[in-house]
Amino acid sequence: MPYAHPPLALHSAATSSGRGGSALTDELTFDAATLPEPDRFEKWREVFCSAIWGLEIVHTDTRPFYARWKFAQLGAVGVGQNELSAADYIRTPQMARALDGDDFGFHMNLHGSSGIAQAGRSAEMSGLSGALVTSALPGSVSIRRGQGDSRYQGYCLHIPRLELLQRIPGADRYLLDVRVNTEPLRLLVQYLDLVQSNEAFIRDPELNRLAGNHVLDLISLLIESCPEVRRRAEQGGLRAAKGVALRKYVEAHYREEGLTVRSAAGALGISESYLHRLMAESCESFTEMVNRLRLEGAKRMLENPKCDAMRIGEIALAAGFNDFTYFNRLFRRRFGDTPSAFRTCRPHRDDRAGR
């Protein structure tokens, strides 16, 4: 559900009055594990469900209550990342009238399952899925209990109404239309994961604004993939998210001998020319990125005493190089020494680092 009040403003009020407790930090996170078990549910209900979301909560899990939530403001978009035990989050008609707001929310299901209900419609969501909701109407989100010890994980996005209507004038007609494991949804999750783990996007005003616009582009494409929306997304959020997906793919596969522009483009569903354009925006070619990752991987192994039994050639192969001469030349150019000399000098570097 969309937030009833700005989380950052309420965070300041809560911490200044002492209501936030140890679970509410300057990074605007809530972690129930940091509170005594008897206080966890009431703190979550009072500060977050009631004050921020304007919701009532009913705990439906047979296990002890748990909630972990991290909030970041990206431009105009509020992003909440959560891990929750089973519960029903309800906005009653009285709450909706008192809120007197009409912003949108985007409920994203990552792991586990949930149910949403609003405007006489309902939908079940499982695995990677997302749906648009609104703060103008009563409704509910029901987090289902996971199997075993697993908990629900998801994102909850708050989108100012005018920001979305500028991109999709008829956005209201897509309420509760569930999108399941689509490419824009996967790209949005990857992009949000990157932004949430990189403080530069939170601290730098220009990066923050740009990230918020990228998220809006991707949400718009998720909801309505018309030519105009796709054109705008291709110039902004979709292009940025595909750049993130490309970097993640290369970071996961750089050790593989068969990694090429063609194989990476095929795996990502993009053309080779588009891949080259994405790499150009990072000021690094595909080959340069692969070689950098391989060299950094080889360097870590040469620095690791646990790899001392490995020959230099074996380390080169493990890092993804199949040409030993080429590996030696690139290593010396990047680190100023041959791999053998680099390993030999390791005790001296360790000694200097310890001083």
pLDDT digits (tens, 9 = 90+) for 168-199: 999 999 999 999 999 889 989 988 988 888 78
Same domain, 88 and 234: no
Same domain, 112 and 159: yes
Same domain, 148 and 104: yes
The whole-angstrom separation of Cα 64 and Cα 248 is: 36
- Name the domain boundary from 283, 310, 336: 283
Same domain, 115 and 260: no
Q: At what angle do helices 205-223 and 183-196 cross, to 10 degrees?
A: 160
For residue 177, is it within any domain?
Answer: no
Pick from 134-148, 188-202, 227-241: least confident: 227-241
Give residue-wise pLDDT tens across range 28-62.
788 999 999 889 999 999 888 888 888 999 999 99
Other Cβ atoms within 10 Å of 117 Cβ, number: 17
For residue 335, is it within any domain?
Answer: yes
- Residues 275 and 265: beta-carbon distance below 8 Å: yes
* pLDDT of 313 higher than 60: yes
For residue 348, is it within any domain?
Answer: yes
For residue 304, is it within any domain?
Answer: yes
Same domain, 159 and 194: no
For residue 152, is it within any domain?
Answer: yes
Same domain, 101 and 209: no
Place of tokens 């469900």: 49
pTM of the model: 0.69
Same domain, 41 and 160: yes
Where is pLDDT greater, at 285 or 20?
Answer: 285
- Name the domain boundary from 250, 283, 316: 283
pLDDT at 201: 79
- Name the domain boundary from 283, 309, 339: 283
For residue 239, is it within any domain?
Answer: yes
Confidence of residue 353 (pLDDT cuts 50, 70, 90): very low
Same domain, 49 and 191: no
For residue 15, is it within any domain?
Answer: yes
CATH label of the domain that carries residue 341? 1.10.10.60
* Burial letters 122-141, b for 16+ CB under 10 A, else e: eeebeebbbbbbbbbeebbb
* pLDDT of 242 higher than 60: yes
Same domain, 165 and 187: no
User: What's the domain range around 242?
Assistant: 182-283
* pLDDT of 15 higher than 50: no
